[in-house]
A = this chain, B = another copy of it.
Amino acid sequence: MPELRKEPVSGRWVIIATERALRPTDFKAPSHSIKGGGFCPFCVGNEDKTPPEIMAYRDKGTEPNTRGWRVRVVPNKFPALVVEGSLDKRGDGIYDIMNGIGAHEVIVECPQHEISLTALEPNHVQEVLWTYRDRLVDLKKDRRFIYGMLFKNVGAAAGASLEHTHTQLIVTPIVPQTVATEMEGSLTFYRYRGRCLFCDIIVQENSTKSRVVMEGDSFIAFAPFASRFPFELWIIPKKHSSHFENIQKSEIEELAVTLRSALCSLESALEEPPYNYIVHTSPFDQPELEYYHWHIEIIPRLTRIAGFEWGTGFYINPVPPENAAEHLRNAACIAKETK
């Protein structure tokens, strides 16, 4: 059973793998590279090479764990947290511990071996986004779980170990620190101004336009004012909403286009860079909140993070977001059609 331990100084939670602990010799191998080319457990026809599916969008009349699916959700084969068990929150002197209970799932976004979500048609991307929503709605019924974090790693430098396009979902019994910090900051602003900070950001970005990359009726994609990373992009719904899983159908339709186009611009401008994106949303146990606003943060992994960033949480970004936005607006984006 993995342990969740709280670092008492910063309040940060860490998952400590206690069972399959690595030894020093395990780190002597060269850094891992991504698995491509050969056998892919996510490809259609290999349904028996993953743990049994949790859900799938699949063609009528087809059976679970067989062909016929379009989007498929399976448990992570090497989960960071385990589903079965109780939290057993406890102390050890000044330290806090709980069992590493949670969910760790993989959303396989398409049956054929595509390496980018941009290779999928917008209708298909919509089904991926519906899957995001469906899993959050299902998992939040479990009262042990407080937070669901959807994230995508693309490229070995971004932490991907399989190239077939997929998203991961980790569900935790605590609110992760980054989100807690964002919520505190937004709440402080809300208490002072009586408005949602993110809504104010949307207004200001819309009035200056210099950092806006694309905009539709329901979503705006922009390079944030204090981007930590070159070509960092945020996609945010223009209508206030604190929880991703409350997204409307019309919003899903537009988000599918916006997300695909934004990623396509990045791939075009930066020649298929490694990247992560993370859906920042509110905790399961919170009602609709006036002060927090869900959004997607896209982080190209172009620069190595050195000692300064690690120690301080203080980033050096060599590309002003105004320049990044201009490059991304200009990036011709001819989406590959898959069918």
Q: In the complex the two chains form, is B15's CB within 8 Å of A316's CB? A: yes
A298-318, CB < 8 A from B: 299, 302-308, 310-318
A333 CB-CB contact with B under 8 Å: no
Q: In the complex the two chains form, is B276's CB within 8 Å of A9's CB? A: no
Q: In the complex the two chains form, is A185's CB within 8 Å of B11's CB? A: yes
Tell me, rounded to whole Å, the shortest Cβ–Cβ distance linking A26 to chain B.
8
Q: Among B14, B27, B160, B201, point to the contact of A226 (Cβ < 8 A).
A: B14
Q: In the complex the two chains form, is B7's CB within 8 Å of A225's CB? A: yes
Interface pick from A44-52, A130-138, A176-184, A251-259 = A176-184
Contact with B along A242-283 (1 / 0, CB 8 A): 000000000000000000000000000111010011101000
A237 CB-CB contact with B under 8 Å: no
A164 CB-CB contact with B under 8 Å: no
Q: In the complex the two chains form, is A307's CB within 8 Å of B8's CB? A: no
* B contact residues around A310 at 8 Å (CB): 151, 276, 278, 299
Q: Among B168, B320, B327, point to the contact of A16 (Cβ < 8 A).
A: B320
A339 CB-CB contact with B under 8 Å: no
Q: Among B11, B303, B312, point to the contact of A176 (Cβ < 8 A).
A: B312
A99 CB-CB contact with B under 8 Å: no
Q: In the complex the two chains form, is B304's CB within 8 Å of A6's CB? A: no
Q: In the complex the two chains form, is B315's CB within 8 Å of A12's CB? A: yes
Tallying the copies of this chain within the complex gives: 2
For chain A, which range describes its interface: under 10, 10 to 19, 20 to 34, or 35 or more residues? 35 or more
Q: How many angstroms between the C-alpha atoms of A231 and B310 in the bound complex?
A: 16
Assess A314 versus B7: contact at CB under 8 Å? Given A94-B197, A94-B201.
no
A147-205, CB < 8 A from B: 149, 151-153, 156-160, 168, 170, 172, 176-179, 181-182, 185-186, 189, 197-198, 200-201, 204
A289 CB-CB contact with B under 8 Å: no
Q: In the complex the two chains form, is A80's CB within 8 Å of B27's CB? A: no
List of 4 A-B pairs having minimum Cβ-Cβ separation, nearest first: A159-B306, A278-B311, A176-B312, A177-B313
A residues in contact (CB < 8 Å) with B = 3, 5-18, 20-24, 27-28, 31-32, 80, 92-95, 149, 151-153, 156-160, 168, 170, 172, 176-179, 181-182, 185-186, 189, 197-198, 200-201, 204, 208, 224-228, 230-231, 269-271, 273, 276-278, 280, 297, 299, 302-308, 310-321, 323, 327
* CB<8 Å pairs between A and B, sample of 9: A6-B226, A8-B189, A23-B327, A24-B269, A28-B271, A95-B225, A151-B308, A176-B314, A278-B311
